[in-house]
C-alpha cells in the first residue's frame, strides 16, 4: 500500500504538459498525480473537446507530497520532506482504530443515453468498421447522480471491499474525488524497462457454482471474438512501444492471461520493452497515451470517432493516476471501474465502455457495460442506471 498527503510543490493546473519534464527534473522525490483523458488534446494535433467534463479534473496535475507512507510485508515506512517521521507515526497511532461509516449514502443515477440510443450508435460505429475506418473502437457511456450526498472515503472503503483491484486508488484534489477500483495497468517503468498490461475480454462470473465459473473462464480464453479484440490492442501497444524502445526489445511476455475478480473474469496481456536513452516523460506519453485499450485501433482515427459519437466528455475516466519514485521509476493505472465526485456541485459520475469490433452485437455490448458498472451500482444496492436511496 502507498499513501501520500500534503503538498510541498505542484504543477499542472494552468500548465502545458511539456512543463512537467522541467518540474520533474528538479525533484528527486516521490511525486503523485493524474493524467486526464483530455490530455490527448495537447499530445495530438487537431483535437479539441467541445463538451465539458462532469467532474472537472484538470488535464494533468502532479504534486510533491509532504508525507509518503508505504506498507510492505507488514512494515510501515514513513518519508517526509517537511516533518519528523516519528511525529507522523505518533499522529497515526493517535487516530481512531476504526472509522464509522455514515448512516446514509444517497445517489440517484441517471443514464446519459438510453439503451436504444446506445444500440443505434453502435450500429453506426459498425458501419465505420466495415468501411475500414478502424478495426476496433472503445465506446463509453456515463451515468450521473445529481444532488448526491455521499462520504467519499466511506464509499471508497465499500468499493474496495466489493471490487478489490490491484490498481485501485483514492484520490483527492481539493473538492474533487476519484474512487478507483481499476484492474488495469497503463505503464510501469523499472529502470530502463517499460511494461503495459492492457485488458480486453470480459465475462461475468458464476460465484455460486465453481464448475460453471471455471467453464466461463475457459469460454473467455477460447473466445475468438475476445482473443481478436485483445490481440488488436496488444499490437497497438507494441507499435506504441516501438517508437520509444530500442529495436528488437519489444516483446509480449503474456498473451491472453485470464484473471479473476469478484464480478468478472478478464483477459489481460503484457507487453514490455527497453526504453531508448534520455527520453522525457512527455516523449513517453506522446507515444503511448491514452492507453490503447481505452481507444481502439488505429488510435488517432478512433479518438476522432470517439469525439464524434460519445455523448459525454471522459475527463479523468480513461485517463490515469499514478506516481513517480525518487529514482524516477513510475507506475500508472487506467482509470476504469471508478466513481468521480464533486462535493461543490454534489455531482457523482461513473462511466463504462466496451470494445466494438466487426463481430460486436449492440445488445451484448450494452449488457457488458452494465456488468462492468455493477460494482459501482452495488455501492447503492441497485442495478446500473436506476435511482436509489439506501441506508447502510
The structural domains of the chain, with segments of one domain joined by +, span 2-65+99-391
Please tell me the distance from the alpha carbon of residue 188 to that of residue 387, in angstroms, as a whole number. Answer: 38
Report for 154-163, 282-291, 381-390: range of highest mean pLDDT: 282-291
Please tell me the distance from the alpha carbon of residue 75 to that of residue 70, in angstroms, as a whole number. Answer: 8
Q: Which triple of cell numbers denotes residue 307? A: 469525439
DSSP secondary structure code for residue 149 in this structure: B
Q: Does domain 2-65+99-391 have CATH number 3.40.630.10?
A: no
Q: pLDDT tens, 298-319?
A: 999 999 999 999 999 999 999 9
Catalytic residue numbers, as ranges: 184, 200
Q: What is the pLDDT of residue 220?
A: 98
**C-beta neighbour count of 44 within 10 angstroms:** 15
Q: What is the pLDDT of residue 315?
A: 97
What is the overall mean pLDDT for the chain? Answer: 92
Cis peptide before 331 (omega within 30 of 0): no
Q: pLDDT tens, 6-52?
A: 999 999 987 788 899 999 999 999 999 999 999 999 999 988 887 89
Mean pLDDT of 54-58: 97
> Helices 115-131 and 362-378, interaxial angle, to 10°?
130
Q: What is the pLDDT of residue 78?
A: 95
Please tell me the distance from the alpha carbon of residue 355 to that of residue 368, in angstroms, as a whole number. Answer: 10
Closest C-alpha to 241, from 203, 305, 180, 189: 189
pLDDT of 149 higher than 90: no
How far are the Cα atoms of 109, 147, 148 from residue 379, in angstroms, in the given order?
12, 17, 13
Q: What is the pLDDT of residue 271?
A: 99
Q: pLDDT tens, 90-104?
A: 998 888 876 665 545
Amino acid at each position: 500500500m502507498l499513501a501520500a498527503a500534503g503538498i510541498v510543490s505542484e504543477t499542472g493546473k494552468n500548465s502545458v504538459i511539456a512543463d512537467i519534464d522541467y518540474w520533474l527534473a528538479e525533484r528527486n522525490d516521490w511525486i503523485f498525480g493524474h493524467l486526464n483523458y483530455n490530455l490527448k488534446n495537447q499530445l495530438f494535433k487537431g483535437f479539441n473537446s467541445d463538451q465539458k467534463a462532469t467532474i472537472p479534473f484538470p488535464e494533468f496535475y502532479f504534486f510533491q507530497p509532504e508525507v509518503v507512507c508505504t506498507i510492505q510485508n507488514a512494515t510501515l515506512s514513513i518519508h517526509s520532506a517537511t516533518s519528523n517521521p516519528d511525529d507522523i507515526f505518533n499522529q497515526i497511532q493517535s487516530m481512531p482504530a476504526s472509522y464509522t461509516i455514515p448512516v446514509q449514502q444517497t445517489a440517484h443515477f441517471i443514464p446519459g443515453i438510453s439503451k436504444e440510443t446506445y444500440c443505434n450508435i453502435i450500429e453506426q460505429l459498425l458501419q465505420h468498421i466495415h468501411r475500414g475506418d478502424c478495426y476496433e473502437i472503445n465506446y463509453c457511456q456515463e451515468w450521473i447522480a445529481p444532488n448526491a450526498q455521499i462520504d467519499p472515503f466511506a464509499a471508497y472503503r465499500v468499493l474496495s471491499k466489493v471490487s478489490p483491484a490491484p490498481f485501485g486508488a483514492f484520490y483527492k484534489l481539493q473538492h474533487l474525488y476519484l474512487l478507483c477500483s481499476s484492474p488495469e495497468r497503463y505503464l510501469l517503468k523499472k529502470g530502463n524497462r517499460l511494461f503495459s498490461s492492457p485488458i480486453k475480454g470480459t465475462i461475468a462470473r458464476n460465484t455460486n457454482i465453481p464448475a460453471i465459473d471455471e467453464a466461463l473462464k475457459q469460454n473467455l480464453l477460447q473466445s475468438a471474438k475476445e482473443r481478436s479484440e485483445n490481440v488488436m490492442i496488444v499490437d497497438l501497444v507494441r507499435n506504441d512501444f516501438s517508437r520509444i524502445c530500442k529495436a528488437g526489445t519489444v516483446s509480449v511476455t503474456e498473451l491472453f492471461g485470464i484473471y479473476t475478480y469478484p464480478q468478472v473474469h478478464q483477459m489481460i496481456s503484457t507487453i514490455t520493452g527497453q526504453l531508448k536513452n534520455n527520453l522525457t516523460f512527455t516523449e513517453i506519453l506522446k507515444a503511448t497515451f491514452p492507453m490503447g485499450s481505452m481507444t481502439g485501433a488505429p488510435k488517432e482515427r478512433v479518438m476522432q470517432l470517439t469525439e464524434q459519437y460519445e455523448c459525454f466528455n471522459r475527463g479523468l475516466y480513461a485517463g490515469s493516476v499514478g506516481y513517480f519514485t525518487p529514482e524516477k521509476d513510475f507506475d500508472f493505472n487506467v482509470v476504469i471501474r471508478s466513481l468521480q465526485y464533486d462535493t461543490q456541485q454534489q455531482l457523482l459520475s461513473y462511466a463504462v465502455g466496451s470494445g466494438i469490433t466487426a463481430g460486436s452485437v449492440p445488445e451484448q455490448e450494452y449488457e457488458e457495460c452494465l456488468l462492468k458498472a455493477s460494482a459501482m451500482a452495488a455501492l447503492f444496492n441497485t442495478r446500473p442506471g436506476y435511482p436509489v436511496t439506501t441506508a447502510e
